[in-house]
């Protein structure tokens, strides 16, 4: 790792740090491209690329924007004894929407490509995918059948207002 980048990361409060490896792993969990992260964080794609490739240190505000976009989409950073990332568990009343990559499957999943739905129930039974399945309450009031959590991401706070 670049020494300047390491010094910059170590100077941040623990809750605000994000390593390039964590950034790459978080994008992989969301199935996002660098361009999608850049758009969500409102930064240039080169900023994401340079950070992930350890080419340059970034301002704490830029890292906070990138990390915030990832967290808003359901990623949780673990900065304890071992750095890592994981998906936040979706719980009752959480707001979710289809992942961008799956928007073309919206008719099959009974959720509009830009619709925000509310988690109604969650289950994890033998044979279910790792994230389990849930039922969603749609804006129309209808409830979906059991859907895989991997098809959805947490809705951004501004998209979840009713």
Question: Could you write out the DSSP letters of every residue in 90-114?
Answer: P-TT-EEEE-GGGGGGHHHHTS-TT
User: Largest Cα–Cα distance of the chain, in whole Å?
Assistant: 54
Q: How far is 23 from 32, CA to CA, in rounded Å?
A: 11
pLDDT value of residue 5: 54
Whether the Cβ atoms of residue 75 and residue 89 lie closer than 8 Å to each other = no
pLDDT value of residue 158: 41
pLDDT value of residue 107: 73
What digits encode the pLDDT tens for the residues 89-126? 767 777 887 776 667 667 777 777 778 888 888 888 88
pLDDT value of residue 150: 74
Using alpha carbons only, what angle is made at residue 57 by residues 51 and 60, rounded to the nearest 5 degrees? Answer: 100
- Alpha carbon 92 to its chain's center: 18
Residue ranges of the chain with pLDDT lower than 50? 9, 11-14, 157-162
Domains and CATH numbers, the chain: 3-87 (1.10.260.40), 95-159 (2.30.30)
Roughly how many angstroms between the first and final C-alpha of the chain, as a whole number? 44
């Amino acid at each position: 790792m670049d020494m300047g980048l390491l010094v910059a990361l170590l100077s941040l409060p623990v809750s605000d740090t994000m390593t390039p490896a964590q950034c790459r792993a978080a994008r992989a969990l969301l199935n996002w491209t660098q361009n999608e992260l850049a758009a969500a964080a409102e930064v240039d794609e080169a900023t994401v690329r340079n950070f992930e490739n350890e080419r340059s240190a970034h301002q704490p505000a830029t890292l906070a924007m990138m990390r915030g976009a990832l967290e808003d989409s359901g990623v949780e950073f673990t900065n304890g004894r071992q750095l890592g990332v994981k998906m936040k568990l979706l719980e009752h009343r959480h707001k979710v929407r289809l992942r961008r990559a799956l928007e073309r499957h919206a008719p099959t999943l009974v959720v509009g490509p830009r619709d925000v739905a509310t988690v109604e129930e969650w289950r994890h039974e033998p044979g279910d995918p790792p994230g389990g399945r849930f039922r969603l309450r749609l804006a129309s009031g209808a409830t979906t059948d059991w859907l895989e959590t991997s098809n959805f991401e947490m809705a951004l706070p501004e998209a979840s207002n009713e």
